[in-house]
Structure formats: C-alpha cells, structure tokens
C-alpha cells in the first residue's frame, strides 16, 4: 500500500474514510459508493502534464509501455511491484472528417478514440490493469464479475495473466458471441443466468460477499482509476490540450464517472486549464439515466442526491417487470450502479444526457465501419448521440469533440451481419450472390 491513497465514501453526510488495504466496494457505514482518493502532497505529481511524454522513450519498461501506468502518479494507490499490465492502452485517437460530415461537424474537429484496440478488445482493460493490481496488493486469489460481455472477457484475460481464479455471471442470451467466446477461451468459469445484467449485478455482489471473491465490476473504485487514463490519452494525443466535448456511451456509468473524476483532479492539480463538457448517450431501450436526468430532474446536488426519485423510479421498473432491450447489448442496463458518481460528473463537466434508437446506433456504426476502424454497437451510440446534439445546436460545428469508441467491431458480428445482409438500414452493404462462373462474376463487378 502507499500512504498517499485512501478510500472515501461519496456521501457528504458520511464521508467515512478507509485505507486501500480493504476490498469493500461500498461504504460499510452507509452503503454508498466509494472513491479512491489521494493525499497529493505526498505524490510527486508532474509539474506539467506533458512532462509524462518522456515515458514514451522507455518502451522496454513495462510500466512506461502501459497506457495506464505511464500516468501512474495520477493513480498512485499501490507500489510498483504489484502493478499488473498486459500492454493495455495502446490506443489511437483518429481525426475523422468523413464521420464528422455525417454528424454535420466541420473538418478537423471530430476525433474518435479507439478503445477496441486494447488486448481484450474493449476499454475495460484500462480498468482491469488497475483493479487487478489492487487485487494482487491485498492478496486476493479468486475474482468475479457480472457482465454484458466485455467485462467478462477482460476479467478472464487479466485474472489468468496474474494467477487469480475467476467466475463471470452473464445474462443468458444477452451477450454478443465475440464476448462469450472470449470468456470461455480465456478460461473463466462462465455462469449463464436466466435473467438480465441487472439480475447478474445483484447476485454477484452477494456471491462476492459470501465467498470472499474479489469484485471486478465498476463498483470497484480502483477499476475506475484505470479508466481515468482514457481521458489522459485523449489529452496526450491532442498535444496536451483538452477537447471541448467528450462523448461516451452510458451503461453501468463507470466510464462517465471515471472521466469526470479525472478532469476534476487534473484541474485541481493545475495540469489542465479547462474541463471539457461531457455528453453521455443511452440507448432508448435502456435509458434510465436520460429519464432520471432530463425528465425527473435528478441532480448531484452537492452529493445530496434525492434518493426518493431513484427509489420510486426503480420501484416502477420492478412493478412493470421491466427488462431493458437494445441491440447495443453492452449498455442494456436499467439500474446503473454508478448512477450517483455519474451525476457528479454531469455536475463537474456541465454534462448533457441523450438517448438514441437502435436504428440510429446501427446506421452510425456502419458509418464508423465504412470510414473509420469500426466499433461495436454500444460505441456507435456516441456518434448517433453527437448527431442529435449537433441538430439541436447543443454542440457547435467547430467545437473539438472526442467520441470514445469503447469496443472492437468483432465483438458483435451478429448485429453487423444482420444490418448488412438483411438490409436493415440506409447504409446496408449486402453481399451479392454469384454463380460459380468467371464471366458472370466479372459482369457483377463491372455493373
């Protein structure tokens, strides 16, 4: 453990503090979420953010190579000897004018952050590098998570690379095949539950408490510390400047929570001048955050969140036997565990929330596929959401926008193949049947 870090309850009326040697994940006193916090005066924080650029020269040092740990001063909760890395965070920020045109932005202003380039194909690896380091530090031997797919793939990969056992809970029939194949291939004990993600999330917390397993969902504050680095890498790739907007999909709301914390800390440390705004994008079939923020007017309110609004909302979901549905299975979640931290991010970043339809998601995904490096459906919600926000005039055509493309296109080939083969959308690119004859194949190509 370092004496520079501690855990703190986000509820201002409680504000209990705990050391980092415990895996508790919710405040034992009031049940609220916990943050990883730092005594910054005990940490050698770089004078300028760009000072960290020198780490690029040290490619033979595994911690400098990691896109998470080369920013280690900003997530300084464990000594180097426990730090886990398998080369996460070698991601690309691509300026993309064709996608910019699709959303009606000026050339040179839209950037796509490809987190699908991580070892397990999604942004989760940033979080797992950090969380498994904490697990090693406290001597955990077995781990577990609930997942819509990517968390399970990432947990399975990291658990076995650092010698922990792992169990993943997934909703039966609710997970894309690319992700399911990874969990099995990487050797996780894979339990398919006859329920949805929210059911799995509820069960995994009890399982971890009863069996003493280390929990790797984004309730784990150390996981979110790793996910802060996605923002650091965007800033790094923009020449150590901040964009005007970050656009991110919203599921369990771990990313959005981590990003707001990242910007708050950077500003507090004087490493950035201005905090970007954030847009969090739900799918319409799983739009709890959008409904609560835009319609029920739920806010962070200095930490005094109106719990009754949330309780009434969830009671209504239960009464209606509601289960979320969207083709973006990664974000098919109706009870996001990081809701309150996300509200804090909206407050810090002057954020907005929108929901987009499956049709809009699939069209946007086809555009990222055709003109970019591709992404999975949940990731494309960012582009669809940005299109809305441009049409509304909330985001201007010449603002600098970075969309976080959270997962690789091969994660969910089913949605892609259906969209194109079944001509489901305006950008469908269906394969053409040809007889087994050369001249007819040539005629087809010429036509």
CB nearer to ligand F0G: pick between 204 and 401: 204
Tokens matching residue 147: 């997942």
CA dihedral over 270, 272, 274, 279, signed as positive or negative: negative
Nearer to ligand F0G, 36 or 271 (CB): 36
Query: CB 51 → ligand F0G: shortest distance, Å?
Result: 29
Task: Give one word for 142, left, alpha or beta, with left for phi > 0 and alpha for psi -120 to 50.
Answer: beta
To ligand F0G, the closest distance from the beta carbon of 100 in angstroms equals: 21
Least distance from C-beta 306 to ligand F0G, angstroms? 22
- The nearer residue to ligand F0G, 79 or 413, going by C-beta atoms, is 413
Residues 6+ apart with CB under 8 A from 310: 292, 298, 339
CB neighbours of residue 429 within 10 Å: 12
Rounded distance between C-alpha atoms, residue 264 and residue 253, angstroms? 17
- Which of 137/204 has CB closer to ligand F0G? 204
Smallest distance from ligand F0G to CB 27, Å: 21
Site residues for ligand F0G per CB under 6 A: 122, 147-151, 218, 249-255, 330-331, 376, 378-379, 406-407
What is the closest distance, in whole angstroms, from the C-beta atom of residue 433 to ligand F0G in the complex? Answer: 33
The structure tokens 């083969």 sit at 421
Closer to ligand F0G at the Cβ: 336 or 425? Answer: 336
Beta carbon of residue 175, minimum distance to ligand F0G (angstroms, whole number): 9
Tell me whether residue 398 is exposed, middle or buried, using C-beta atoms within 10 angstroms of its C-beta: 0 to 12, 13 to 18, 19 or more: exposed
Dihedral sign for Cα 146, 152, 154, 156, please: positive
C-beta of 109 vs 249, nearer to ligand F0G:
249
Residue number closest to ligand F0G, CB atom:
251
d(CA 439, CA 436): 9
d(CA 161, CA 321): 40
């Amino acid at each position: 453990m370092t004496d520079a870090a501690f855990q703190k309850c986000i509820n201002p009326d409680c504000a209990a503090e705990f050391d980092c040697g415990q895996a508790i994940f919710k405040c034992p006193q009031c049940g609220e979420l916990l943050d990883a916090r730092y005594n910054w005066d005990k940490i050698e924080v770089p004078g300028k953010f760009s000072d960290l650029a020198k780490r690029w020269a040290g490619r033979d040092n595994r911690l400098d190579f990691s896109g998470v740990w080369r920013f280690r001063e900003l997530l300084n909760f464990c000594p180097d000897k426990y730090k886990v890395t398998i080369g996460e965070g070698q991601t690309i920020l691509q300026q993309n004018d064709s996608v910019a045109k699709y959303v009606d932005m000026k050339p040179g202003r839209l950037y796509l952050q490809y987190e699908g380039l991580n070892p397990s194909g999604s942004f989760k690896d940033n979080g797992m590098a950090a969380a498994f380091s904490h697990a090693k530090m406290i001597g955990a031997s077995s781990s577990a998570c609930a997942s819509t797919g990517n968390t399970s793939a990432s947990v399975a990969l990291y658990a076995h690379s650092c010698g922990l056992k792992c169990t993943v809970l997934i909703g039966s029939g609710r997970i894309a095949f690319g992700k399911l194949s990874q969990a099995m291939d990487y050797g996780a004990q894979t339990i398919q539950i006859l329920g949805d993600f929210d059911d799995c999330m509820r069960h995994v917390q009890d399982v971890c408490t009863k069996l003493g397993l280390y929990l790797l969902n984004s309730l784990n504050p150390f996981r979110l510390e790793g996910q802060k680095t996605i923002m650091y890498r965007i800033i790094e790739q923009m020449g150590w400047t901040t964009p005007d907007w970050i656009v991110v999909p919203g599921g369990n709301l771990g990313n959005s929570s981590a990003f707001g914390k990242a910007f708050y800390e950077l500003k507090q440390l004087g490493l950035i001048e201005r905090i970007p705004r954030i847009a969090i994008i739900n799918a319409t079939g799983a739009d709890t955050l959008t409904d609560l923020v835009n319609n029920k007017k739920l806010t962070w309110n200095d930490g005094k969140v109106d719990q009754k609004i949330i309780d009434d909302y969830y009671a209504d979901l239960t009464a209606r036997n509601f289960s979320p549905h969207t083709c973006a299975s990664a974000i098919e979640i109706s009870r996001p565990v990081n809701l309150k931290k996300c509200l804090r991010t909206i407050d810090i970043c002057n954020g907005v929330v929108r929901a987009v339809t499956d049709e809009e998601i699939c069209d946007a995904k086809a555009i990222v596929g055709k003109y970019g490096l591709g992404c999975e459906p949940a990731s494309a919600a960012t582009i669809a959401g940005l299109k809305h926000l441009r049409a509304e005039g909330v985001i201007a055509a010449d603002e600098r926008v970075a969309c976080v493309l959270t997962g690789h296109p091969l994660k969910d080939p089913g949605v892609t193949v259906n969209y194109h083969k079944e001509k489901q959308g305006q950008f469908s690119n269906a394969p053409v049947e040809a007889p087994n004859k050369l001249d007819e194949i040539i005629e087809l190509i010429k036509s």
